[in-house]
Amino acid sequence: LVLALVFFVTQWMWSKRANLPPGPRALPLIGHFHLLGRIPQISLYHLSKKFGPLMYLRLGSLPLFVVSSPAMAREFLKTHDAAFAHRPPKVAVYSYKSVSYSEGEYHKNLRRMCSMELFTARRVTSFTKIIRDELWDLTAELANASKADQPVALRGKLRALSFNVMTRILMNKTFFGSKASGGGDQEARNFLETIDEVLAAFGAFAIEDYFPSIGWL
């Protein structure tokens, strides 16, 4: 009881001292979780209509800024991007070694390497034939399915397309479709299932994300 009281008082004093954007009144402990509803993006849209393009929320003990206008997003992502470039600690990002989650000079070096070696016009142009071939193969599959009046799971076809393009660029192998040469569909499906499992675990609810102080438990 004493610890809970100290927590609430600390949160209240911090919110009073901080120069925060407007936002709805929070409940003790859970903050604004109760306002998100079953479709959070819709709830946030309606809240932004009331509190403006920059809104403050608190999810548990985690402070959150909600940006809902292009001009305000530009302030966060361009004008003051360095101040908001922090990434949360996650086991899955391998100690901030990936391009998306790295920070500081390491991030600058990775970004420079990508812009100079991977995303140049010359490099992208060199992949044109591979992309065109895979698009033609997908178009032929869709045409055949249409002639046979067969339904098509377009999401799976598009995933196979992107996977084939990636593996042809990296390994010169095709895993999906009639021209598969890299060990068959099953090997590729196992890989995609692993990716799905990682993404599901990465996006799963974890109580310590919203109450970092209990992460040691």
74 CB neighbour count, 10 Å cutoff: 13
What's the confidence (pLDDT) of residue 70?
A: 92
Query: pLDDT at position 164, please?
Result: 87
Mean pLDDT for 55-76 is: 89
Q: What is the mean pLDDT of the chain?
A: 80
Q: Alpha carbon of 59 to those of 35, 37, 75: distances in Å?
A: 10, 13, 23
Mean pLDDT of 110-130: 84
What pLDDT, on a 0 to 100 scale, did the predictor assign at position 63?
87
Count of CB atoms situated within 10 Å of the CB of 183: 12
| pLDDT of the residue at 57 | 92
Checking if the pLDDT of 181 tops 70, the result is: no
The better pLDDT of the pair 212, 92 is held by 212
Choose the weakest-confidence range: 24-33, 54-63, 132-141, 179-188. Answer: 179-188
Q: What is the pTM of this model?
A: 0.56
